[in-house]
Amino acid sequence: MGPFYFPFDNLLCMLLGISFTVWITLLLVFIIVPAIFGVSFGIRRLYMKTLLKIFEWATLRIERGAKERNHPVYKPYTNGIIAKEPTSLVEEMTEIRRSGSNRDLDGAATLSSSPLASGSSSSSEFEMSDIFYFCRRGLESIVDDEVTKRFSAEELESWNLLTRSNYNFQHISTRLTVLWGLGVFIRYGFLLPLRVTLAFTGVSCLVVLTTLVGYLPSGRVKNFLSETAHLMCYRICVRALTAIITYHHSENKPKNGGICVANHTSPIDVIILASDGCYAMVGQTHGGLMGFIQRAMVRACPHIWFERSEVKDRHLVAKRLSDHVQDKSKLPILIFPEGTCINNTSVMMFKKGSFEIGCTVYPVAIKYDPRFGEAFWNSSKYGMVNYLLRMMSSWAIVCSVWYLPPMSREEGEDAVQFANRVKAAIARQGGLVDMLWDGGLKRGKVKDTFKEEQQKLYSKILVGTQEDRSRS
């Protein structure tokens, strides 16, 4: 041993130990413990305001640089490419015939006094000009497809330094490039490890605590501990996404014996809602890690998991849901009736199954702010692991949640009408577009029934003409 020997290995181990201790202490003091008790120090709000100022500066710098280079800044279409007026097939076809022929059409009078206004009869026989209507509508659907674009990331008008959903990204200045590089270092070097640690902590606590609670006998104590464990763990998972959530009208929060229905943008919708209240989850049984978590959760709380073969049995699903809501001691059921994730701009067709049970429905509207991170999950493009990586490497997840007044099925109202009324209320509150299309079009083709509806409507026009002429 020489006079210049220094225990570098011991020093390195000591530094690593101190760093790990400081890291865990910061997590416990500033994140995990406040999350457990639902307390916030306001750090995330300050972080959000700082990001907004940086985004504003970056956007102004892009616009100034584009002006200097005479390069127009891309602006996404927010209201569609083609301006359309809400008109019926009969009205549009009558207008085409009127403009394409010099003959006097007796349909002007017939239109207002006969069933033509509702599409059940017509003022003339088939004309070649009718083809133009269908050709035009077909081209409009191709050019301005209002359905397919609901399954792609919402385009931003400003740059959020992520370069994931904006076409403006290019080299404008050295300062912008340095700022973007600094953002990459912060997101992947600091935020991502922090969030992965929190997510692992939250999921581990959920599995351990629900498993322990599951050994307790059924009763009020078990229900209380189960709800407490779920809330604590979901709040930790919310911090793992740096989620900044604003809840509105909490007096309308779902109660036992009801069903909570919400629009669906992301798998984290469950965490967003469950961090403010406890729900009974509904879903398909999985294997692997997800299945292990499901089995742990169901020991502590009566969640409803279906086998793959059972999901297709509508009567079995409806019966299990009905049995659950009839027990007022059980938590409200959380369901996303769209059946798939939509890109935070619209609400698509609600499946009617949840509205056939005959219980109180608690609508909830969820709207994300895409400036901080894209919450939409395009499951046909990204796997779950890739999606979670993108989420955890974003700046933050910012959203607003509105609890709407409870709604019940009215007399004479069928399940489809009730579902559409609830969907319209959610879309109106969340500032979303109310669409009648099925979200299943994300992976499938248009059903033949939709095509047949248009064919039947046009055939009624022609058949109505012949019946009118035979009577005259």
Bridge partners (DSSP) of residue 346 are 433
Q: Which range, of 68-77, 83-92, 411-420, 441-450, averages the lowest pLDDT?
A: 68-77
pLDDT (tens digit per residue) in 204-230: 989 899 989 888 888 889 889 988 889
Token representation of residue 308? 């793959």
Distance CA 391, CA 376 (A): 9
| Rounded CA Rg of the chain | 28
Distance CA 160, CA 310 (A): 44
Bridge partners (DSSP) of residue 93 are none
Pairing type for strands 360-369 and 258-262 reads parallel
pLDDT (tens digit per residue) in 428-448: 999 998 888 777 666 667 667
Q: Are 389 and 196 in contact (CB under 8 A)?
A: no
CA-angle at 31, arms to 28 and 33, nearest 5°: 55
Q: Which range, of 37-41, 272-276, 468-472, averages the lowest pLDDT?
A: 468-472
What does the DSSP assignment read for 295-313?
A: HHHHHHS--EEE-HHHHT-
Q: What is the pLDDT of residue 443?
A: 66
Q: Are 279 and 331 in contact (CB under 8 A)?
A: yes
Question: Best-predicted range by mean pLDDT among 71-85, 90-104, 451-465?
Answer: 451-465
| Domain definitions of the chain by residue range | 19-68, 89-104+128-144, 174-449
Distance CA 202, CA 120 (A): 60
- Residue pointed to by tokens 């997590």: 27
Is the pTM higher than 0.85? The answer reads no
Q: What is the pLDDT of residue 110?
A: 43
pLDDT (tens digit per residue) in 109-168: 343 334 444 444 344 466 666 776 777 776 666 666 666 667 666 666 666 777 654 455
E strands of 152-255, at which residues? 243-248
Q: What is the pLDDT of residue 290?
A: 78
pLDDT (tens digit per residue) in 255-313: 988 899 999 998 899 999 999 988 988 877 777 777 888 888 888 888 888 876 776 67
Q: Which range, of 133-137, 189-193, 350-354, 386-390, averages the lowest pLDDT?
A: 133-137
Task: Name the burial class of residue 47, with classes exposed (0-12), middle (13-18) and buried (19+) by CB atoms within 10 angstroms of its CB.
Answer: middle
Q: Are 422 and 359 in contact (CB under 8 A)?
A: no
The set of residues, in sequence order, having a beta carbon less than 8 Å from that of 155 and lying 6+ positions away, is: 76, 165, 166, 167
Q: Would you say how long the chain is, in residues?
A: 472
- Residue pointed to by tokens 């009763």: 219
Distance CA 161, CA 155 (A): 14
